[in-house]
Chains A and B, each alone.
Chain A
Amino acid sequence: MEVLKIATAGSVDDGKSTLIGRLLYDTKSLTSDKIEAIEKTSKQKGYDYLDFSLATDGLVAEREQGITIDVAHIYFSTANKSYIIADTPGHVEYTRNMITGASTSQAAIILIDARKGVIEQTKRHFFINNLLRVKEVVVAINKMDLVDFSEDTYETIKLDFQQLLKERDYQDQRITFIPVSALKGDNIVHNSETMTWYKGETLLEHLEAIDFKDIYNVGTPRFPVQSVIRPKTEDFHDFRGYAGKVYGGELSIGDTVLALPSKIKTKIKSIYFYDQEVETASRRSSVTITLEDEINISRGDMITKTDTPPVVAKQFTAKIAWMDQDPLTVGNKYVIQHGVNKVLAKVDRIHHHIKTDFSGITEGVSQLDLNDIALVSFKLNKPIFYDAFTNHRTNGSFIIIDPQTNTTAGAGFIQ
């Protein structure tokens, strides 16, 4: 059993928080004191229904404005799966949070207000989930109660949305449409009694049926070294282990491996998970490995199998999502953190902006502002060991740190 991370996205009033609240309520995941708090606050506000959005809208500023302004994490589980929902805001100025939520998720729920249909925001949400190669996308057409549960409305919106599918980059993404009313509870956990024309799964049924084998893109194993473990105790006098997390595949004892950047070949001698010696380190496990030969490896280096090495280069081109108020311009210098490896980088060229409504590119641009997505080339002071993002979600991505403010100013997806 694993944990399924789901990013939710929607515009300000699409009812995202209500949908999540409903999901929690109908799966009996809300505790009695939380229900009590929701009832109390709903009553104070004079509502004649339960305001489930209060279950998730945590910050004072949000309650005052009635909107979600940051990524909130919500946890629930069924007998079958554990879920983490990254509830991310949909309004224009906070697109960065949506990217943040999608970056750790394997599934996404895009909400559409049935009265409004596919709008600019819907396209943007879908664009970002496609850019980040989120495998499972549920398009929940919400507030069906406000359009008389009309099948025609649902079909029209579905058709509109399907127009976008031709334009998307990541064609293997799976799309499922579900008509729902989060407020009334239709097709969230229980089948709608009104929309009998809909024969598909409820939202929860669909999430429950997702197979973890299908949602991870298995690639080639990459082992970025986080730290070198040298206990220097009597029992482990000569122990020299490399601590890190395995991404994209497995590593086993006896595998011939390549250490980068030294390009020295050796074999895996042992793999430790705590005090247990294991034969194989599975994908995404945090292990410590030792090698047959004594070679000089330090933090930021990478151990990989010899047959499918990553690209080793001092320059690359990547799609960049810019998340900072200060613009990115040609010649600017940043720190690029690629996994656990940090290098200095200079912006070499901005090729073009990529429009998030699937309408193409804008050429002749000189800078990236907050929320812009663009194709950018960088030059680095040291080589990094990367894969294309399309082949390796972990080893093909990086963050950009502004050395002046130390903030995470952008995210990148290597071509």
Chain B
Amino acid sequence: MKNTSHINPLENEAIYIFREVVAQFENPVLLFSGGKDSITLVRLAQKAFYPAKIPFPLLHIDTGHNFPETIDFRDRLTKELGLELIVRNVQDAIDQGKVKEESGRYSSRNVLQTTTLLEAIEEFKFDACIGGARRDEEKARAKERVFSVRDDFGQWDEKSQRPELFDMLNGQIELGQNVRVFPISNWTELDVWSYIEREQIEIPSIYFAHIRKTFIRDGMIWTNDDAIVFRDEEEVVEERLIRFRTVGDMSCTAAVLSSASDITSVVQEIRDSTISERGARIDDKRSEAAMEKRKQQGYF
């Protein structure tokens, strides 16, 4: 294993941020997707409050398009750690006619999550939502604060963000506002993977190489699932040895060809790789400003 001591200051910073959230807010929640970043957050939260339990619940916005492996993992992890898990379903918002399902080749429920998330924040009166976004993921995220204030509509005003000086975090907000908190803002993808390896953190099996029925579109590898992922008839399904670098919905997460079957070979693969993580996220390819637009609307 490579020297990972540069992660120590990042780990100390993340623990500090977790403790500030709990001290400064009444009702925080950790947004849990079942992906490696939110799993890392859970470990950091354990470290921040040991020997006490993690003093806030986990919230999962379930699109109904998740990989079943992710859902199994989520349920097992929360049970093992004795954490409170709240699940809210995008399907409910669709059934109630609050949002309209997309159709066509590139349809996904990624954008629809926002409505369900904002409703859950209102339902439980969460004043701080902790998320695993990192500044290295995407250009618009590079400007996020650690404490990022959202208005009543969950919107992000990137032009009037509070300055963040030293490591002092200003969590003062008005009633109705909430704060998005990003404890691993300063981590890179490789930092997260190296940390998972070092700490021996368990992650869902889809991050490791496995054989899956897939098809190719626009040079990317899509999961074949007739119920969830739209596919043209001429798009041929084949079994491929793949893994996922990022875990979103089946309908918007592309796989990479890989034989990396354990954490050490995954870390090595990331280290050698030349495609950034979000390159495998179909939702960002829509337009250059895709991420920023979604964020302004309240997307995580």
Residues of A within 8 A of B (CB): 1-3, 31-34, 37, 41, 56-61, 63, 69-75, 77, 81-82, 84, 96-97, 99-100, 103-104, 226-227, 229-233, 235-236, 239, 241, 243-245, 272-275, 284-286, 288, 299, 323, 335, 337, 339-340, 393-394, 397-399, 401, 403, 406-408, 411
| Dominant secondary structure of chain B at its interface with chain A | loop
Interface stretch of the complex, out of B31-39, B132-140, B205-213: B132-140
Query: Contacts A3-B6, A60-B289, A229-B49 known; A245 to B279 CB distance under 8 Å?
Result: no
Contacts of A337 in B (CB 8 A): 168, 170
Chain B residue numbers with a CB within 8 Å of A71 are: 143
Inter-chain contacts of B8 with A (CB < 8 A): 2, 285
B275→A96 contact, CB < 8 A: no
**What is the CA–CA distance of A393 and B166 in the complex, to the nearest angstrom?**
9
- Could you say which interface size class chain B belongs to? 35 or more
CB-CB nearest in chain A for B49: A229
Max count, chain B CB within 10 A of own CB: residue among A243, A286, A335: A286
Say whether B279 contacts A33, CB under 8 Å. Answer: yes
**Would you call A73 and B142 a contact (CB within 8 A)?**
yes
Contact partner, A72, options B142, B185, B289, Cβ 8 Å: B142
Could you tell me the distance between the alpha carbons of A313 and B173 in the complex, rounded to whole angstroms?
Answer: 28
Instruction: Considering the complex, give the chain B residue whose CB is closest to the CB of A71.
Output: B143
- Which residue on chain B has the smallest CB distance to residue A299? B23
Query: Which B159-198 residues have C-beta < 8 A from chain A?
Result: 159, 161-168, 170, 172-174, 185-186, 188, 190-191
Q: Which of A58, A81, A274, A284 contacts B142 (CB 8 A)?
A: A58
Contact B161 A70 (CB under 8 A): yes
Interface segment out of the listed B9-17, B116-124, B261-269: B9-17
CA distance A244 to B49 in the complex (A): 11
Separation of A286 and B273 alpha carbons in the complex (Å):
32
A412–B141 CA distance with the chains assembled, in angstroms: 28
Judging by beta carbons under 8 Å apart, are B52 and A231 in contact?
A: yes
Contact A73 B186 (CB under 8 A): yes
CA distance A34 to B135 in the complex (A): 15
A residues near B98, Cβ cutoff 8 Å:
none
A284 & B12 in contact (Cβ 8 Å cutoff): yes
When A58-B140, A69-B159, A243-B19 are in contact, do A236 and B165 touch as well, CB less than 8 Å?
no
Q: Which residues of B contact A96 (CB under 8 A)?
A: 163
- For the complex with contacts A56-B142, A82-B191, A286-B11, 10 further pairs of A-B residues with Cβ separation under 8 Å are A31-B276, A58-B142, A61-B158, A73-B185, A81-B6, A340-B23, A394-B166, A394-B167, A408-B163, A408-B170
Docked complex Cα distance between A227 and B6 (Å): 26
Taking CB atoms, residues of chain A closer than 8 Å to B51 are 229, 231, 233, 235-236, 239, 241, 272, 275
Bound Cα distance A181, B158 (Å): 32
* Residues B170 and A61 in contact, CB atoms below 8 Å apart: no
Residues of A within 8 A of B3 (CB): 1
Residues of A within 8 A of B11 (CB): 286
B203 to chain A, nearest CB (A): 19
Q: Does any Cβ of A come within 8 Å of B48's Cβ? A: yes
B46-60 toward A: CB 8 Å interface, digit per residue (1/0)?
A: 111111110000000
- Nearest B residue (CB) for A247: B167
A-side contacts of B19, CB under 8 Å: 226-227, 243-244, 286
Are B23 and A284 within 8 A (Cβ)?
no
Judge whether B80 is part of the interface by a CB distance below 8 angstroms: no
Does A1 lie within 8 Å of B6, measured CB to CB? Answer: yes
Q: Which of A71, A99, A232, A235 has the largest count of B CB atoms less than 10 A from its CB? A: A71
List the B side residues contacting A231 at CB < 8 Å: 51-53
When distances are taken between beta carbons in the complex, the residues of chain A under 8 Å from B173 are: 406
B6 and A33 contacting across the interface, CB-CB below 8 Å = no
Would you give 8 A-B contacts (Cβ < 8 Å), ordered by A? A1-B3, A3-B6, A226-B16, A227-B19, A230-B52, A235-B51, A399-B165, A407-B162
> Is there contact, CB below 8 Å, between A99 and B53?
no
**A339 and B163 contacting across the interface, CB-CB below 8 Å:** no
The interface residues of chain B lying within 8 Å CB-to-CB of A56 are 139, 142
Q: CB-CB < 8 A to B52: which residues of A?
A: 229-233, 236
Q: Is B96 an interface residue (CB 8 A)?
A: no
Q: Which of A63, A72, A403 contacts B143 (CB 8 A)?
A: A72
Q: Give B243-274 as 1s and 0s: 1 = Cβ < 8 Å from A's Cβ atoms.
A: 00000000000000000000000000000011
Q: CB of B288 within 8 A of chain A?
A: yes
* Residue in A41, A60, A403 whose Cβ sees the most chain B Cβ within 10 Å: A60
With A231-B53, A274-B46, A286-B19 already in contact, the answer to whether A33 and B142 are too (CB < 8 A) is no
Residues in B neighbouring A398, C-beta threshold 8 A: 168
Contacting residues, chain B, for A63 (C-beta < 8 A): 288-289
Q: Answer yes or no: B22 CB below 8 A from chain A CBs.
A: yes
CB distance from B278 to the nearest CB of A (A): 8
Q: Contact: B140 with A75, CB < 8 Å? A: no
Q: Which residues does chain A contribute within 8 Å of B191, judged by CB atoms?
A: 82
Interface pair A104/B276, CB less than 8 Å apart: no
CB distance from B299 to the nearest CB of A (A): 15
- In angstroms, how far is the closest chain A Cβ from the Cβ of B22? 6
Q: CA A299 – CA B168 in complex, angstroms?
A: 14
**How far, in Å, is A31 (CB) from chain B's closest CB?**
4
Complexed CA–CA distance, A245 and B168 (Å): 12
With A299-B23, A406-B170 in contact, is A75–B53 under 8 Å at CB? no
Q: Assess whether A401 is in contact with B163, with CB atoms less than 8 Å apart.
A: no
Given A33-B279, A58-B142, A272-B50, decide whether A226 and B186 contact each other with a Cβ distance below 8 A: no
Contacts of A72 in B (CB 8 A): 139, 142-143
With beta carbons under 8 angstroms apart, the residue of A2, A70, A226, A408 that contacts B165 is A408
Contact check, A243 vs B53: say whether CB atoms are below 8 A apart.
no
Residues in B with CB closer than 8 Å to A227 are 19, 22-23
Chain A's nearest CB lies how many Å from the CB of B287?
Answer: 10
Please, which residues of chain B bring their CB within 8 A of the CB of A37?
A: 288
Inter-chain contact A226/B23, CB cutoff 8 Å: yes
The answer to whether B47 touches A274 (Cβ under 8 A) is: yes
Listed residue (A72, A81, A84, A227) with the most chain B CB atoms within 10 angstroms of its CB = A227
Q: Is B20 an interface residue (CB 8 A)?
A: yes
Q: B22 and A399: CB pair below 8 A?
A: no
The yes or no answer to B101 lying at the interface (CB within 8 A) is no
Q: Which residues of A contact B275 (CB under 8 A)?
A: 31-33
Of A2, A272, A273, A401, the contact of B172 (CB 8 Å cutoff): A401
Q: A72-B143, A272-B50 are in contact. Are A408 and B166 (CB under 8 A)?
A: no
A373 to chain B, nearest CB (A): 14
Contact in complex: A335, B5 (CB < 8 Å): no
Determine whether the beta carbon of A70 is less than 8 Å from that of B167. Answer: no
Scan residues 32-82 of chain B and give those whose CB is less than 8 A from a CB of chain A.
46-53
